[in-house]
């Protein structure tokens, strides 16, 4: 069985976690690190994936921002997704 590096990151801003994932992905593809599993959660954020349609954030983006909820564009599939404390993301970077 291959090694998997497990990293408990705690509460991490979405864009910071995304940048970390991209760095780990590049290092993994270069065979500089083993497979990596990041365990983390985000401050309240809605991500807008490639299939997001206008109006999916029913109250409008400004309203959500005024509530302290960040809105981030992402190149991932899917529509609008909420991430926040209490929800979790498990990202495994492998070759």
Boundaries of every domain in the chain: 4-93
Contact 4, 38 (CB under 8 A): no
Q: Is the pLDDT assigned to residue 95 strictly greater than 80? A: no
Smallest Cα–Cα separation from 15: which of 92, 76, 70, 54?
Answer: 70
Task: Tell whether domain 4-93 is in CATH 3.30.930.10.
Answer: yes
Tell me the average pLDDT across 77-92: 74
Q: What is the pLDDT of residues 9-35, one digit of tens each?
A: 999 998 999 999 999 999 999 999 999
CB-facing half-sphere around the CA of 70: CA atoms within 13 A: 16
Cβ density class 73-85: b for 16+ within 10 Å, e for less: ebeeeeebeebee
The DSSP element (H or E) to which 95 belongs, if any, is none
Model pLDDT, residue 91: 55
Model pLDDT, residue 21: 92
């Amino acid at each position: 069985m291959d090694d998997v590096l497990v990293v408990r990151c705690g509460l991490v801003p979405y864009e910071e976690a995304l940048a970390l994932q991209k760095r780990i992905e590049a290092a993994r593809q270069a065979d500089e690190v083993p497979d990596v599993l990041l365990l983390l959660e985000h401050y309240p954020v809605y991500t807008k994936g490639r299939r997001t349609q206008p109006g999916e954030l029913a109250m409008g983006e400004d309203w959500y921002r005024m509530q302290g909820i960040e809105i981030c564009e992402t190149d991932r599939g899917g529509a609008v997704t909420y991430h926040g404390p209490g929800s979790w993301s498990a990202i495994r970077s492998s070759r």
